[in-house]
Structure 1
Amino acid sequence: MRTSRFVVPAAAGLLAVAGLAGCGGGDKKDAKDRPIEVKATDTVCEVAVTEVEAGQVAFAITNSGSKVNEFYVYGAGDRVMGEVENIAPGLSRELRVELSAGTYETACKPGMIGRGIRGALKVTGNAPSVAPDAALAEATASYQRYVKSQTDALLTKTEEFVAAVKAGDVAKAKALYPVARTYWERIEPVAESFGDLDPKIDGREEVIEEGMEFTGFHRLEKDLWTTGDISKDGPIADQLLVDVTELVARANAEKLTPLQLANGAKALLDEVASGKITGEEERYSHTDLWDFNANLEGSKAAIAALRPALEQRAPELVKQLDTEFANAEAALGRHRAGDGWKLHTQLSEAELKELSDSINALAEPVSKVAAVVAR
């Protein structure tokens, strides 16, 4: 099993906002007009407008590329105001978000990786002030929307992974394994709160010593990467899907407090330090950097959900958090490999130390967030 982690808000408002990317006109868009068209490919993200009125705004995203795509609207500190994931090639999806006046960014993420193809979005109109308690209430609501988006993707990708295992397609199963686990890693603090499901889904081989059966993701990981024989793994794969389906239902019903968000953000960084840097987590596949990235994204998301309250209560801490998150992302970004990441075994001791140092530096300001939230 592993320690908890967190994730964060997917939509700090439920509907609305605006323009993206590579091309795109600058005409102002009234919030009550037809959806703003977003044309996404593997290399371009064109948003029809880059300025909108505050309020409800709809985006109609069409993926004309060859890779699965995502579309995001970000607030300050990469706070996710709204997102649509798993837009398959040739398909269109709609996103509605509600934004107050301010500056934002839109982003398409071909292959569902990296920072994406970003563009500026300006939202005009009156921006009412938010009371501190209201900001914390919105943080938890926003985070719950994020959990919903991540669990939806987790279930979809687990279904694809299970199908590949049952079909005996080792290559496809290996490719899907770290992708499915990305969504798990982002929300594990929620998942781990269900003590009966966490070891079944995410337990490592040590669970045998605790009298439990070795099942779930890591059992399939072991078979895929050690022997390549998954001919008898159909029942294990089926049970994984049953367990993930139950976890998704429970996670979406779970209600968290602002303090749990703050503690979860720190727990995710602890998870990086204890399992990802050491290579212990993905000991057979060595895909630890996929998990590292997901943990980092999850921690940042939790902090982003809390950002409006933190800006009111501890603005200097927000600046420090922004700096250290950027430093950690830069350190990790040096180990990209195509649409994914280098294997843990490909990193030198010096590179692993650099990553460890960046996480330790980030953990220091993140550890102060809970006290600020608890004021």
Structure 2
Amino acid sequence: MSKYWRQHSSEGNLQEMLLDNDAEDIAREETPEILSMLPDYENKDVIELGAGIGRFTSSLSEQSKSVVAVDFMQNFIEKNKETNDHYGNTEFICADVTHLDLPASSADIVFSNWLLMYLSNDEIVNLGRKMLSWLRNDGYFFFRESCFHKSGSKARENDFNPTQYRNPAEYVSLLERAVLPAENGNGSYAFEMVLSKNVQTYLKMKQNKNQVCWLLKKVRVDTVHNHGYKTFQEFLDTQQYSRNKILTYEKIFGRHFISTGGKETTEEFCKMLDLQPGQKVLDVGCGIGGGAFHMAQRYDVSVLGVDLSENAVSIAWERCLEFMDSRVEFEVADATKRDYPAESFDVVYSRDTILHIDDKLALFKKFY
């Protein structure tokens, strides 16, 4: 790994950070997009893992109470310090994150960008446990990775590339294994999914849907309420919506569909909506994307599909590679907790989903 990055760190510039010849143009749009997905970090304590030359460190240091910027390449850390040391609230550490020790309950947010894809499965799980320790209660872990295949246009010397291009669902599965015993042995802490979505800059500039971000929250585990699982999402992805079961449903209901009636019933419902070209649709409980793809292609609308199942949305992302339709995007989120700007959508479409939600009135108020 160190040999690989020595080959790609001689200049300490954006091209090396992004491994892309269009790095400056990408970073100009991508950096604010990534930062917009973070929870409020003003006056918060932040740990930045894989900080590189500091393209995110600058914004984090400008608004946060403190930042610990970590990278295992000394020249990257030196460049970062040269750029951002003037903020006076940032500590720069050259270290391998898999061997990093930091004080317990010292951070509100852990941030990483293109880090876990260079770690083994066991290293991710172990790092997850460490981060649960470093985070205060209700703290957040944000990370972004390249999935499925490489994205950068910059050539890799001798074609050597240590990156693991995982399916997005694999990251969630690995981090579900990271559990931290609570104080006095009273239960435990784990990560709960808040949001997972594609990086829109790469979709716009590269027609690339393989850049994925996640926002997780440190929560106390309630196994009784979640049928013996750490979170309700883990229950869904392990039981009703395991990958094998999803694909079985699809065989029953038709390609891209996992709900009764498949494409025919979807079209029956769509006819009631008076969809017009250019409208924006929120598809709540989108599953593997059949309804979203159908609405976009049949009615020329833009669709944001949201579902709590990482397995379902991961399959939807895979299907995006078939359709290559920029009008459709997907994210993993709990619709009862997800917030969007007012008047973001013309239509809210939901099928076989709301019956599973206890507080339906609160959800309807969000829709309104």
> TM-score if structure 1 supplies the norm length?
0.29
TM-score, normalising length: structure 2: 0.30
**Structure number with higher strand proportion:** 2
Choose between structure 1 and 2: higher helix proportion. Answer: 1
Of structures 1 and 2, the one scoring higher in RCO (CA 8 A, sep 6+) is: 1
